[in-house]
Amino acid sequence: MSVEQVETVVIGGGQAGLAMSYHLSRLGCEHLVLERGQLAERWRSERWDSLHFQSPNWNMNLPGWPGMTADPLADPDAFSPLREVTDYIERYAAAIRAPVRTQCAALSLARKPGSGELQVQTDGTLFVARNVVVATGPYQVPRATASLGAGVFELHSTGYRNPGQLPSGAVLVVGAGNSGVQIAEELCRAGRRVFLSVSSHERIRRSYRGKDCIWWLIATGSADSTLREWKGARLSRLMTGVNGGHDIDLRQLAADGVVLLGRVRAARDGRIEIADDLAASVAHGDESLQAFTLRCDEVVRAQQLDVEPAEDSPEDPLPDPPELKEPIRTLDLAREGIGAVIWANGAHAEFSWIDLPVFGESPASKRTPVHERGVTSEAGLYFLGLPWLHKWKSGFLFGADEDAGYLAGRIVLR
């Protein structure tokens, strides 16, 4: 076992860890980025083939590198396919000369006994550091799922790649957040019969008055809101960057043949119990969409923004699917010919490998370190890239710069 002394160890070679590396280099701080796989590993191995960046290309703006996307001729308003996102992150690391050690997983992190330093244990090396920045991602471990028993092919959305991976037959997608609706749309277009379990969600528009929703989130101040200041739609956006980007409307999915269900309450022996909450969830989504457009219109008036006129509501809005009035309350997988279930119910952080007193006792608080803008009460320990680390944008690529810059400043002050 070798021992290496490093001033600052950054754990995680995704966008957050690399933005951190940029700012540490800028301030002349010696550091090393440890990555358990390859750079941008989650974009490579935990996302599906057809995924496109869901923010327009002008949002690929990691600090200190003018290259927007990996393609210098890329349209700033287009949405890059997955391969270009990983290319972008890889080229960024090269452009900023990030000192990275790949295939090097941090197995544990603790205080070095009898010292103020921290130690990161990896497979062959013990790294001793004055500072450690944990940038291992906002979405690490799939949320728990109910087990359906033998005979059903089950996987989490982080393991979904394409329709060809699934056995033939109908598919149940559980969860109608950004991942669930995109997967349901892809399966429906591939000719599968799809059932989609919808939980409470909030919506904004992919494009409104000629501008992308990310532009609006910035213009209305939402992207820069802290959790305390936040008003309006949270993370579910029900949209995609595929085919030039569009909203994924649940009523449109239903019109295309997708069967909408309420939340999954329990699953046992091939039967699923469904809550009677579909109509309420859809209504809440509709209200949040209306609130979003109203907020945009208010900002246009207040700031006299030069944007296109407000769009009229369509004369023939899509009809409500029958499931809204007569909800399905139980689903027999065999009877419906459902051969696969995709759990698109989200993922959370996992920090059981960190042995430092910055977590609460309950199972949920063990996943969330106590911190202020990523700074913990443990000297030298920082977190980066968590949802709402500081602002709404903290969990997104375009939010990495500001948070990493702040933490680098704190590290220099030490």
Q: Which of residues 227-266 bind ligand FAD (CB under 6 A)?
A: none
Question: Is the Cβ of residue 330 or residue 352 nearer to ligand FAD in the bound state?
Answer: 352
CB 45, min distance to ligand FAD, A: 8
DSSP state letters, 199-258: -S-----SEETTEEHHHHHHHTS-TT--TTT--S--S---EE-GGG-EE--HHHHHHTTP
Does position 11 interact with ligand FAD (CB under 6 A)? The reply is: yes
**Stretch 178-207 residues interacting with ligand FAD (CB under 6 A):** 179
How many residues bind ligand FAD, per CB under 6 A?
30
Q: How far is the CB of 96 from ligand FAD (least distance, A)?
A: 14
Residue number with CB closer to ligand FAD (106 or 300)? 106
135 vs 300 by CB, closer to ligand FAD: 135
- Spatial distance between the Cα atoms of 113 and 110, rounded to a whole number of angstroms: 9
Residue of the chain from 54, 69, 236, 281 that contacts ligand FAD (CB under 6 A)? 54
**What is the footprint of ligand FAD within residues 133-152 (CB under 6 A)?**
135-139
Asked if residue 389 lies in contact with residue 383, where contact means CB atoms within 8 angstroms, the answer is yes
- In the region spanning residues 33 to 52, those forming contacts with ligand FAD, defined by CB under 6 A, are 34-37, 41-43, 47
Residue closer to ligand FAD (CB basis): 214 or 254: 214
What are the two backbone dihedrals, phi and then psi, of residue 126, each rounded to the nearest 5 degrees? -105, 120
Give yes or no for residue 412 binding ligand FAD (CB under 6 A): no
Least distance (Å) between residue 322 CB and ligand FAD: 31
300, containing H or E segment? helix 278-303
DSSP state of 275: -
Q: Which amino acid is at 312?
A: D
Tokens read off for 255: 């019109």
In whole angstroms, how close is the CB of 227 to ligand FAD at the nearest point? 17
Minimum distance from residue 137 beta carbon to ligand FAD (Å): 2
Question: In the complex with ligand FAD, which residue's Cβ is closer, 139 or 195?
Answer: 139
Joined together, the tokens standing for residue 273 give 């119990």
12, 56, 142, 177: which one binds ligand FAD (CB under 6 A):
12
Least Å from the CB of residue 328 to ligand FAD: 27
What is the torsional sign of CA 279, 285, 290, 294? positive
List, as one string, the DSSP characters of 327-383: ---EEETTTTTEEEEEE---EE---TTEESS-S-SSTTGGGS---BTTB-SSTTEEE
Rule CB under 6 A: is residue 106 a binding residue for ligand FAD? Answer: yes
Provide, rounded to whole angstroms, the least separation between the CB of residue 51 and ligand FAD: 6
Distance CA 230, CA 219 (A): 14
- Which listed range, 53-61, 67-75, 267-275, 359-367, lies at the site for ligand FAD (CB under 6 A)? 53-61
- Stretch of residues binding ligand FAD (CB under 6 A), selected from 22-30, 31-39, 191-199, 313-321: 31-39
Which of 122, 197 has the CB closer to ligand FAD? 122
Site for ligand FAD in 278-307 (CB under 6 A): none
Question: What are φ and ψ of residue 129, in 5° steps?
Answer: -140, 150
Least Cβ distance, residue 341 to ligand FAD (angstroms): 18
330, 272 contact by CB (below 8 A): yes
How many other C-beta atoms can be found within 10 angstroms of the C-beta atom of residue 25? 17
Site string for ligand FAD, 367-396 (x = CB under 6 A): ------------------x---------xx
Query: Which of 49, 67, 101, 105 is in the footprint of ligand FAD by CB under 6 A?
Result: 105
Provide the minimum distance between the beta carbon of 293 and ligand FAD in the complex, in angstroms, as a whole number. Answer: 22
Dihedral of alpha carbons 141, 146, 149, 153, sign: negative
Distances (CA, A) of 157 to 142, 147, 342, 381: 8, 15, 6, 31
The minimum distance between CB 38 and ligand FAD, in angstroms, equals 8
SS3 content of the chain, % helix, strand, coil (to 5): 30, 20, 50
Nearest to 172 by CA among 161, 183, 159, 158: 183
Residues that bind ligand FAD (CB under 6 A): 11-17, 34-37, 41-43, 47, 53-55, 105-106, 135-139, 179, 385, 395-397
